[in-house]
């Protein structure tokens, strides 16, 4: 019974992040709230973040925040979704411009764009496509910020597979890409724990690990 209740609460939180406004003024406030959330994450960390402070930073009434978000969890989920959308857009533009060869080229650009956002995008160091830190108060489940059923890495892997077109459609790749996402997540987190700008040696090793592992799943 508890699992069912938790699932319902998670679905309600996720649904709140999906009600994106369409009117220009409301959309501008929605984006201001996400920008304020990102800035405060860098200043306070996820553990100290409150909806009240986000609303004050965005200069909107707290009631306006709750028109778009059911609470802190849905606010962080919306930020994670926006981060993923922007990451995929940036990666798609680089793929179009550079036309990399094979899975190795795709991996290099995917890692480079993630690292670039980690270094420059406000709040990305705390919430990239999921929470980087331990669960703060008011967040019950950071593993499903992007999707009700898939955990965050699985959801990202699915979107990357779609972006890559037929490149990752070979037999065995769904599982391989899923494993690759877990490996990349762990090594890149380590890289940014060791160096605020990302340890270059560990970033290079993340690329090499992904290239070698995924190459083993290519047809001969």
In a domain, 130, yes or no: yes
Instruction: Answer whether residue 9 is part of any domain.
Output: yes
Total number of domains constituting the chain: 1
Render pLDDT for 35-46 as a digit per residue (tens, 0 to 9). Answer: 999 999 999 998
For position 1, what pLDDT does the model report? 43
Is residue 54's pLDDT more than 90?
A: yes
The domain in which residue 33 lies consists of: 2-215
What is the pTM (predicted TM-score) of this model?
0.87
Residues 6+ apart with CB under 8 A from 92: 163
Summarised one tens digit per residue, pLDDT across range 111-153 is 999 999 999 999 999 999 988 876 666 676 667 888 888 889 8
Tell me the average pLDDT of the chain. 87
| In-domain check, residue 117 | yes
For residue 220, is it within any domain?
no
pLDDT tier, 19 (very low <50, low <70, confident <90, very high otherwise): low
Asked whether residue 157 is assigned to any structural domain, the reply reads yes
CATH label of the domain that carries residue 42: 1.10.357.10
Q: How many CB atoms lie within 10 A of CB 54?
A: 25
Contacts of 106 (CB under 8 A, 6+ apart): 95, 100, 164, 167, 168
Please indicate, yes or no, if residue 147 is contained in any of the structural domains. Answer: yes
State the helix-helix crossing angle for 173-194 and 102-120, rounded to 10 degrees: 40
pLDDT band at 6 (very low <50, low <70, confident <90, very high): very low
Long-range contacts of 168-171 (CB under 8 A, 24+ apart): 168/103, 168/106, 170/217, 170/218, 170/219
Distance CA 58, CA 27 (A): 13
């Amino acid at each position: 019974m508890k699992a069912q209740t938790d699932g319902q609460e998670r679905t309600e939180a996720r649904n709140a992040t999906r009600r994106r406004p369409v009117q220009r003024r409301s959309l501008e406030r929605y984006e201001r709230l996400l920008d304020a959330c990102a800035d405060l994450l860098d200043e306070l960390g996820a553990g100290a973040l409150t909806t009240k402070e986000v609303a004050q930073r965005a200069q909107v009434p707290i009631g306006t925040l709750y028109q778009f978000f059911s609470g802190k969890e849905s606010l962080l989920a919306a930020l994670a979704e926006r981060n993923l959308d922007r990451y995929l857009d940036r990666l798609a533009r680089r793929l179009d411009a550079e036309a990399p060869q094979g899975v190795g080229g795709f991996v290099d650009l995917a890692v480079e764009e993630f690292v670039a956002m980690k270094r420059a995008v406000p709040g990305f160091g705390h919430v990239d496509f999921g929470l980087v830190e331990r669960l703060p108060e008011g967040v019950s489940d950071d593993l499903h910020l992007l999707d009700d059923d898939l955990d965050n890495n699985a959801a990202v892997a699915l979107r990357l597979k779609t972006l890559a077109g037929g490149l990752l459609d070979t037999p065995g790749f769904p599982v391989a890409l899923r494993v690759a996402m877990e490996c990349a997540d762990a090594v890149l987190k380590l890289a940014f724990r060791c160096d605020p700008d990302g340890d270059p040696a560990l970033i290079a090793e993340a690329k090499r690990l992904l290239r070698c592992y995924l190459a083993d799943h290519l047809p001969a």
